[in-house]
A and B are shown apart, each in its own frame.
Chain A
Amino acid sequence: MNNTSLIMIIVAGALINNVVLNQFLGICSFLGVSKQMKASISLGGAVIFVITIASAVASLLYDYVLKPLGMDFMKTIIFILVIAALVQIVEMFLKKKSPAVYKALGIYLPLITTNCAVLGVALTNVQDGYNFIESVLSGFGTALGYTIAIVLLAGIRSRINEKDLPAPLRGAPIVMIAAALMSIAFMGFGGLK
């Protein structure tokens, strides 16, 4: 594994296969939380934190426990439990050790358990046969892509809110149209491959 391909994993995760705009994972929070810039940045931070750790733990568990035991088919159940437990541990740890970060992340930390991006990344890493380092980097890249997308959308939405829209488009539809345009823009990154 040379350095270029490791960097490529991050770039691919963050831009080329953007987790929200290209793979449609984590849409709920993408549409729900992007209303405020500040909340989006906090959620992005929490997601980077959790996905990176979750990818690392899931990769270790798969390589050293599930695969040797031949319990491949149990991975969905094991991963979701590990992620739920992990979020809880991270939350308890942050609460104790760094209350400032805990306060900044607020309710977004527990919400991440059901963010399908976390489980999605863990499962794709296994599917693609990534080793430990590749899994961690891919997790980090994916989460970075999520943060980029949600912060950009929050910026766009703060502008949209000032405009006088036709009534049927207000609320969810216009946000999704904005997401569609962002998705078109992100397709341009496909050329980086």
Chain B
Amino acid sequence: MKKYIERLWNGLLKENPVLVLMLGMCPALAVSTQAANGIGMGLSTLAVLVLSNFVISCLRKVIPDSVRLPCYIVIVASLVTVTELLIKAYLPSIYEALGIYIPLIVVNCIILGRAEAYANKHTPLLSVMDGIGMGLGFTVALTLAGMIRELLGAGTVFGLRLLPESFGMTIFIQPPGAFLVFALIIAVMNAIGIKTRQRQLVESGCDGNCSLCSTACEERKAEPAEAVKPAEPAGTASVQKGGDQA
């Protein structure tokens, strides 16, 4: 039981996907104009993440290692299409507000990242908990940023007016505000000593770019090693490469 709760806590705070791992920044920056949009995007991603973690974890012994990335992409894309159609049918206002960012959940780094880093090594139940934790962490980060931007930009939170109408720095609802608010949230987290991992990522030159980051980085690291040790059998290298680049 303890490790299931640990998973939730891990996703919410210790490895918060947006604020600590710096994954899924694109939708986070784009849809956090309002707190309600943040929740909508967060919960859509959570649904896809939980389902994809579950399916991939169930199939982890069936999917051949060399073609795992294309398989994951197909699974995730199908789940996203289902989610998109459901939102379009039942929550048209959210669908309007989120627009193209719903189909773009497919390329959200968090989903392929968790599949690669967690779901393909752990049991379905643990993977589901990991998905819930990560999804909640994403939702919380987006809602927090959405609340700050909405408050500073329009003086409201969840549409509720907290500041007079004359107040409102529209720049915070516009694109620059997204960068600014996330920069400040991360700076505050740095200041109060929550360790962020993104610095290492940025320093190492391997960007946090999604699932392929890890494999591409490995590949890059492997290159000098290969140069030193050319005796490595070419067959395994090419198989590995094929999987990485797919």
Contacts and interface: CB of A to CB of B under 8 A. Distances in A.
Interface residues of B, number: 62
Contacts, number: 170
Contact of A24 (B29, B70, B80, B216): B29
Nearest to B179: A180
B10 interface: no
A76 B107 CA distance: 10
Interface residues of A, number: 56
A167 interface: yes
Q: Tell me if A's interface is mostly helix, strand, loop or mixed.
A: helix
Given A171-B198, A172-B199, A32 B179 contact: no
A143 B137 CA distance: 31
A159 B77 CA distance: 40
A32 B108 CA distance: 15
A152 interface: no
Contact of A73 (B85, B107, B209, B213): B85
B26 A177 contact: no
A114 B77 contact: no
Given A107-B219, A177-B179, A74 B81 contact: yes
B176 A184 contact: yes
19 contacts: A24-B178, A25-B26, A32-B213, A76-B77, A84-B70, A84-B246, A110-B245, A119-B104, A120-B100, A123-B100, A123-B103, A167-B190, A172-B183, A172-B198, A172-B199, A173-B183, A176-B186, A177-B179, A183-B176
Interface of A: 21-29, 31-33, 35-36, 39, 73-77, 80-81, 84, 87-88, 91, 106-107, 110-111, 113-116, 119-120, 123-124, 127, 167-177, 179-181, 183-184, 187
